[in-house]
Amino acid sequence: MIERTLRKLIEQRWDSGKAIIILGPRQVGKTTLLREICKEKGDFLFLNADENEVVVLLEHTNELRLRQLIGNNKIVFIDEAQRIPNVGLTLKIITDQIPEVRLLVSGSSSLDLASEINEPLTGRKWEFKMFPISWAELVKHYGLLDARKQLEQRLIFGMYPDVITSLGDEREVLGQLSGSYLYRDVLQYGNIRKPDLLDKLLTALALQLGSEVSYNELAQLLQIDRNTVEHYIGLLEKSYIVFRLSPLSRNLRNEINTSRKVYFYDNGIRNAVLADFKPLALRNDTGALWENFLISERQKKLQYQRSWAKTYFWRTYQQQEIDYVEEQDGIFSAWEMKWNPKAKSKFPNSFIESYRPAQMEIVNRDNFESFLAGDGDL
């Protein structure tokens, strides 16, 4: 089994007296990881909120009922907690009134869970995000040579645990993952009445991978209003299917500052949306796949290293652009993504003069490890 980076982070917070919350997409291993940790720590109570009986028990409760439910267990793990109405108050009772219990909570969507728990658990929780397997985790498990041999497969089929371990069955696994199961929380909690529009929007976003996205153009394409487009993309983002990059625009009047780029958290899901798993040699979107892979992997790295860097792309109306920019403590770093090691790219002087970047690098398939290395691997 591939060891997850979050294990160490969770174990470091184990005796903090605070609830441990893990959010992230479905099927990335949240339940498996937390159950493994719980088993090592001793007896624990596992409550799966996909079961209606569990929801009924936890929806309207009090300290007495919770103590009866927990019994002598010193560890309580509530899985898929977003399904429990008023779950924040339930978690607050456990952390405040039953402090001898170690509380772990997982959720596959932040649509309701984040808002439910933020206020009741202010100062009472450690919150983490978990994603599909990261490049650093893959290298640690298989070794650098074998991981590199998988690189093209990972660009095509992505990094979900079941996909990596189901050699030969990747398409079938991704077909199941990319169906309504992956975003059923969006349908359930987002009050979406026309799920076919969600499919069309995902297809449009998949086709525009690596390009700036115009909400107005998407609205015209789907024959819906702009606000609905933005709302749907927000729901997909809260369900950890896609994420947005904003443009960096502070110093120059000709910098683009209104458009967004939308990336998928996983290449395999993106390709499954289009039902396109052709090898790289037969594709015309290799550059976009490489860019999505690198930037999504970088998001994992920043989260797992507990880095609060701000992330952007940069472009001017004169078509000068930089694929990816980070700002950490007021210091900028910039990267261009090129699959071909022989491809050339020049960073615009206007960007350099305005932002004085501490680092500028072209990331290609020969040198990308340092861009994606995990904490302690640099």
What CATH number should be reported for the domain holding residue 85? 3.40.50.300
CB–CB of 320/241 below 8 Å?
no
On whether both 20 and 151 belong to a single domain, the answer is: no
Mean pLDDT of all residues in 94-115: 84
Q: Given a cut of 60, is residue 374 above it in pLDDT?
A: no
Q: Given a cut of 80, is residue 7 above it in pLDDT?
A: yes
Residue 377 counted as domain residue = no
pTM score of the predicted model: 0.92
Among the three residues 129, 148, 180, which one is the final residue of a domain in this structure?
Answer: 129
On whether both 118 and 186 belong to a single domain, the answer is: no
SS (H, E, C) the chain: CCCCHHHHHHHHCHHHCCEEEEECCCCCCHHHHHHHHHHHHCCCEEEECCCHHHHHHHHCCCHHHHHHHHCCCCEEEEECHHHCCCHHHHHHHHHHHCCCCEEEEEECCCCCHHHHHHCCCCCCEEEEECCCCCHHHHHHHHCHHHHHHCHHHHHHHCCCHHHHCCCCCHHHHHHHHCCCCCCHHHHHHCCCCCHHHHHHHHHHHHHCCCCEECHHHHHHHHCCCHHHHHHHHHHHHHCCCEEEEEECCCCCCCECCCCEEEEECCHHHHHHHHCCCCCHHHCCCHHHHHHHHHHHHHHHHHHHCCCCCEEEEEEECCCCEEEEEEEECCEEEEEEECCCCCCCCCCCHHHHHHHCCCEEEEECCCCCHHHHCCCCCC
On whether both 259 and 320 belong to a single domain, the answer is: yes
Specify the number of domains making up the chain.
Answer: 2
On whether both 142 and 52 belong to a single domain, the answer is: no
- 36 lies in which domain range? 5-129
CB–CB of 113/82 below 8 Å?
yes
What are 295-351's pLDDT values in tens digits?
Answer: 999 999 999 999 989 999 999 988 899 999 999 999 999 999 999 999 988 999 999
Report pLDDT for 191. 64
Q: Given a cut of 70, is residue 207 above it in pLDDT?
A: yes
Distance in angstroms (rounded) separating the CA atoms of residues 170 and 160: 10
Residue 378 counted as domain residue = no
